[in-house]
Structure formats: C-alpha cells, structure tokens
Structure 1
Amino acid sequence: MVTPAGHLPTALLHHGRGHSPPEEDPCGTLYGHLARANPQWRLPPAGDAMALFMGPDAYVSPAWYPSKQEHQKVVPTWNYVAVHAYGPLEFFEDADRLLEVVTRLTDLHERPRAEPWTVTDAPEAFVRAQLRGIVGLRLPIARLEGKRKMSQNRSAPDRAGVAAGLAESDLASDRAVAALIST
C-alpha cells in the first residue's frame, strides 16, 4: 500500500511556552489543516504519521572538489538538512478548534508584516463558512529524526571548494548551504 503524502500548513506549538495545554507532548505538537476534499483525512491510521521538514538544500558539482584534479574519483551529490517528526495523527472537525488553528497559523505568518492581516478582519460568517471546507490535524511529536549532510564526508579542501562554489550561486538556497558547510 502506498502511503499518501501532502503539503500542509502546520505550526509547532511547544508545551511550557504558553502555547499549548499541559497534556501536550514535551517535544511539541504540530497543528494544521487540510482541505475537506483531500481524502487523506479519511484514511485509517497505519501507525505513526510523519511530518517532513526540509531546510536548505543544494546540488554539489564534483567540479568544486580540488581532489578531482588528483584522482578523478568524484561524483555529484546533494547537500541538505531535514527533520522528520513522528507521532499519532488526529483529525478534527470542531469549528472552534479549527478557528483557533487557522488563527494561530495566520498570526504566525502575518506577524512580520508591517500591517498584519488577522482572521477577524474577515466577516465572521464568511470565516465560519470557510472553516466548513477544512479539517484540522494534531500530531503530538513522539520522536524526531534529523539529518544534516553538508559535505562532512569530504576533506577540508573539498568542503572549502563546495562552499566557495555554492557561495557564488545566484540562488539564495545555494548560498544558505554554503554558509552551513562552514559551520
């Protein structure tokens, strides 16, 4: 059986920071939502769910390795940072709970704006109608796994070559990876 995946808006809420009830998992709890039309929320749970979070990533050209000149035994690779969060997934349809999740997600993403939009800026009846089109999700994090592959398997000169090559890129994500190689 193929397990479906989806890209969903979520927010991590931590116990002890005034953002979640005391019964929440000490690793935090993910809250989010998905479209009611998305069939994923109707599937029976098959163990823990996984939420995948990607950090900066970039293609690494073997041309950046000084060791290429010495022995030619190099191949392209990919540098990346990723975190997998696992836990039991719960879906919910309660309108008040959905409103709280949507409000928190909106506030989180609007906060940096000069004039943040808030859910209360829209008419309440309109918001309530929109909530009928989504289903909430809650994933208390039971286990975290992280991976950081930043050319650490290469020699110091090769790492410096990769960092220099990525630092010259026009892509912000490449430059972010270059900075991580040096740290």
Structure 2
Amino acid sequence: MYVPPQFRIDDRDAIQTALRAARLANLVTCGTDGLMATPLPLLLDETEGAFGTLYGHVSRANPQWKTDASEAMAIFMGPDAYVTPSWYATKQETGKVVPTWNYIAVHAYGAIEFFDEADRLIDVVTRLTRLHEADRPEPWAVTDAPARFIEAQLRGIVGVRMPIARIDAKSKMSQNRNEADRVGVATGLAASERASDREVADLIPT
C-alpha cells in the first residue's frame, strides 16, 4: 500500500486500535493457484510477537487453507467517506480541486499457518465469540450449544494463525488540505445521513 508520510500511522497502539475496530478483514494469499482472498473476522493477540498475531478460521471447504503460499496479507478497513470538492474553501478561491476519498486502512503481513487440532480450534472460536458477544446484554457462549454439536462444527473448519511481521497503516483524513478545507470537509461529512461519514468527520484534524 502506498502511504505518503502525512498519512502514515506509526504508533503501535493506534495501529492495534484500528485492527480491533475493523470487524471484518480480507485474508489474501498467493500460491501456485494464484491469488485467493477470504473475508473473515480475525482476532488480534497482542501478547504474541512485536506486532501481535492474528487468529481466525475458514471453512474446511474453502480451498485457501490448502495453499502453498508461505506468506499472507490481512487487509483491515476502517471508516471511509467520499469527499466532494464542493466542501473545500479552495473551490471558491481557485476552483483547482478534485474529488477524493478519506479512509483508514491497515495491511498486515506475515507467515501463514493453517491448523485443525481440536483444542486450538475451540480456543480460537471461543475467543472470537467472546470478543464479538462482549457488548450484548446476554452474550452467547460456545458452551451454550451442545458439546457434540460444537465438536461436529469444529470438524468443518480450519484454523488460521498469522504472526504479524510487518504492517502498513494509513489514515487519510484530509491532512494534506489547509485548515479551511479540512473544516469544510468535516462540516460536510458531519451533516451526512451516513453514519460512516459522520464517523470520518470526527477523525479529521481541524
């Protein structure tokens, strides 16, 4: 990913916050069968490695787990929004403006491992469930289902482990525009009916 200096996220905590906030990632591999990508939720274990380790699972019917690729990329997308030139003060001054897009994106790279040991799978499934059920008033737990049913479900999946070796993290939030233009973009997005636009509005430095 191309990351100009003004858009680069270098802070480890900020990067991990962006990873945790993106509820769905795209896991990309490239082996002798070519490129393959699978959208899936990934859990970040911050205690493993300098950048953390990603865990998830794919369907056993998904051929991606049989790839001979040694490295993978996980793509996490944060809030994003279209930016119209009409919001720029510069439009009124010179007219020399064009549309763009504001967004947060994190690309994580590392060696990929697929596994099917039952104890490891139940650990990943349990941790993912706890993560995404945490905000519910009555969280569902893996143990709410019959044990034999869960055992059968586990046979239908393959675990994914990817220790993160390097990261490209980008937050493009109009930092390259002057203050008046940034204020115009933030004001325009804040008035949008789209929740994602309003989320981006709060991230623009003004």
TM-score normalised by structure 1 residue count = 0.91
Structure 2 residue 79 is the aligned partner of structure 1 residue 36: no
**Offset from partner CA, 1:64-114 (integer Å, 9 cap, x none):** 011111221111100001111111000001111111100000011111111
Identity within the alignment, % = 64
Please give the secondary structure, in 1, of the residue aligned with 2:202: helix
Q: Specify the SS of the correspondent of 2:40.
A: coil
Within the candidate set 32, 42, 49, 1:10 is matched to: 42
Query: Where does residue 78 of structure 2 map in the other structure?
Result: 55
Residue 145 (structure 1) shift:
1.2
| Corresponding residue number in structure 2 for 1:74 | 97
* One-letter code aligned to 2:104: V
TM-score (norm 2): 0.81
Structure 2: distance between partners of 1:164 and 1:2:
44
Question: 1:52, 1:121 → 2: CA distance?
Answer: 32
Pick the aligned partner of 2:112 from 89, 95, 114: 89
Q: Which has the larger radius of gyration?
A: 1
Aligned length: 174
> Which stretches in structure 1 are left out of the alignment for 5+ residues?
16-23
| 1:10 shift after superposition | 1.1
Once superposed, what is the RMSD of the aligned Cα atoms? Answer: 1.2
Q: Secondary structure at the match of 1:73?
A: coil
Q: Extract structure 1 runs of 4+ deviating beyond 4 A.
A: none
2:137 pairs with one of 110, 114, 122: 114
More strand by share: 2
Deviation at 1:2, TM superposition (A): 4.1
Q: Which amino acid aligns with 1:34?
A: V
* Structure 1 residue 182 displacement after superposition: 2.6
Match in the other structure for 1:153:
176
Residues 124-164 of structure 1 show CA distances to partners (whole Å, capped at 9, x for unaligned) of 00001011111000000111111111111111111110000
- Residue aligned with 1:107, SS: helix
| 3-state SS of 2:39 partner | coil
Task: Please say if 1:128 is aligned against 2:128.
Answer: no
How far 1:119 moved relative to its partner?
0.3
- Distance, in Å, in 2 between the alignment partners of 1:71 and 1:117 is 57
